[in-house]
Amino acid sequence: MSSIKPSKTEPPSSALKESMTLKSGFRHTVFSLNGDKYTGEWQDNRKHGIGIQMWKNTGAVYNGEWRFGKYDGYGTYYVLDPESKGYVWKYDGEWKNGKKHGYGIYFYNNTAVYEGEWSEGQRSGRGKMFHENRDIYEGEWMCDKEHGEGKLLYANGSWYEGSWKDGKRNGSGKCYNSEKGLLYVGFWIDGEAKCGTLCEYEKDKAPEPSKCKFPKVKHRKKDQVLKEAQSVLIYTSKD
């Protein structure tokens, strides 16, 4: 009895042509219709690996790791300064699924800086915030607000150390007023002192807030990263 061998099915020519056009591996520079450009690695037609993206309308630049089309891993984000026309370092740190996630530094402006942990694009975990008015908060965060244990050092020498909830003093804490020389130790609800003790202290004998251990941020040097991004942008602009 003779047997019939099944014929091999070949994929349609359209599928073969489509697979040949998929971007994978390293591509020099790929331009979008809106003028955006990307230089780096691809996988299955999506940005994947190491690459630099530049947006034409805003002039913003991302230089770092990608995972299936989104920022993921370590990367640096820059924006154009309208005054100097140069690149300004905006965020340097870890990303996940296109959002700040992990450890990094974010510059709100020249004087307001956050250094610490992030979760899905928001300050969450331990972090240190340098405010524009020179106040400094160091402690725990959740959903972009002070939440947990932390201390706030005011520029005039006053300070608060204790519990926070949703960005306000909540729970046990102590506060020193440098102008009046008064130390309050007690309980707080929604930012207001409710029950505690008040003591007088001379400024030279005033207690200092406790020193909590703060992990050092691990990031590449700003000038080095920016120089790498600018060199690629200058090179690709000649294409």
Q: Are 76 and 88 in contact (CB under 8 A)?
A: no
Q: What is the pLDDT of residues 146-187, one digit of tens each?
A: 999 999 999 999 999 999 999 999 999 999 999 899 999 999
Q: Is residue 10 part of a domain?
A: no
Predicted TM-score of the model (pTM)? 0.78
Residue 150 is assigned to a structural domain of this protein: yes
For residue 44, the enclosing domain spans: 24-211+221-236
**Structure confidence at residue 141 (pLDDT):** 98
Higher confidence at residue 14 or residue 231? 231
Q: Count up the domains in the chain and report the number.
A: 1
Residue 239: pLDDT band by 50, 70, 90 thresholds? very low
pLDDT digits (tens, 9 = 90+) for 37-50: 999 999 988 999 99
CATH number of the domain bearing residue 75: 2.20.110.10
Q: Which residues contact 158 (CB under 8 A, 6 or more apart)?
A: 175, 176, 177, 178, 179
**What DSSP assignment string belongs to 46-84?**
EEEEEEEEE-TTT--EEEEEEETTEEEEEEEEEEE-TTT
SS3 224: helix
User: Each residue of 186-232: pLDDT tens digit?
Assistant: 999 999 999 999 998 776 666 777 765 544 444 445 455 556 655 65
Q: Is residue 216 one of the residues assigned to a domain?
A: no
38 falls within a domain:
yes
